[in-house]
Amino acid sequence: MNAFDRSIKIAPSILSADFANFGAECRAIEAQGADWVHVDVMDGHFVPNITFGPSTCAAIRKHIRGVMDVHLMIAPVDPYIEAFVKSGADFVTVHAEAGAHLDRSLQLVRSFGAKAGVSLNPSTPASAIEFVLDRIDLVLVMTVNPGFGGQSFIASQVDKVRQLRAMIGARPIHIEIDGGITPETAPLVAAAGADVLVAGSAVFKGGSVETPEVYGRNIAAIRAAAEAARMSVAA
Ligand code: DX5
Ligand code: ZN
């Protein structure tokens, strides 16, 4: 993995890919410019949808050359952390709302050798991470209520991103955004301080492994919009 940097990174969510063809889908999005591959794990309990578990993550890992970014929407989470780290995840992100002992969950992720992320639901304040800043490599701001792709961006979260950016200061902690990211919404969060943008439907729409150039155009459009917003803030 590369050294820490705050450049804009696009992380397609394979929740919007063909579930019967994850290998080819991962290869296609990486060839078309994806920086990270975002993998959504759902349990039908913490969120009202079910995807897959660690053995599927391990199978997917073989088709990803770069960063595998695993977002755990499961509760309880602690009993499964070791298995997800061992599946080959570079980042394992747990929800602040998934249990009573966030500090312990984050320590567990790092103890097995992955980078640790914490995700905040839209109703959870930025202050939830104030006392775990030294335990995290990433904070994931949900801009939809987790569970499904294709939902609308919740604009109130932009202020939370700004607060988190100020709280993080010079610490090497990524700010990742997940939910409703498009070329229209990406500039809002990029200007507020986000560096990793997850996008499911906006990357996969209109394309397939037979027409991967569509993925490439979709990724490039989100990246260009986010980078332009960064430049205008810096100017
Ligand atoms: C939502 C997932 C997201 C989802 C985003 O619960 O965590 O990663 O795939 O999908 P879009 O980009 O379609 O909102
Ligand atoms: Zn996600």
Give rounded-to-5 percent helix, strand, coil for the chain.
40, 20, 40
Per-residue burial over 207-232, b = 16 or more CB atoms within 10 Å of its CB, e = otherwise: bebeebebbbebbebbbebbeebbee
The pTM of this model reads 0.98
Does the Cβ of 117 fall within 6 Å of ligand 1? no
CA of 65 to the centre of ligand 1 (A): 22
Percent of the chain with pLDDT over 90: 97
On whether the CB atoms of residues 95 and 123 are closer than 8 A, the answer is no
Measured in whole angstroms, the distance separating CA 69 from the mean position of its chain's CA atoms is 6
Helix (H, G, I), strand (E, B) or coil at 212: helix
pLDDT at residue 3, as a whole number: 86
Question: Which residues neighbour 61 within 8 Å (Cβ) at sequence distance 6 or greater?
Answer: 68, 87, 88, 89
pLDDT at residue 235, as a whole number: 76
Find the catalytic residue in 35, 40, 69, 195: 40
> Is domain 9-234 given the CATH code 3.20.20.70 in the classification?
yes
Q: From the alpha carbon of 150, which atom of ligand 1 is closest?
A: 13
Tens of pLDDT along 180-189? 999 999 999 9
Find the catalytic residue in 35, 69, 90, 178: 178
Pairing, β 9-12 against β 196-199:
parallel
**Ligand nearest to C-alpha 146:** 1
How far is 176 from 232, CA to CA, in rounded Å?
Answer: 20
Nearest to 168 by CA among 117, 124, 122: 117
Does the Cβ of 178 fall within 6 Å of ligand 1? yes
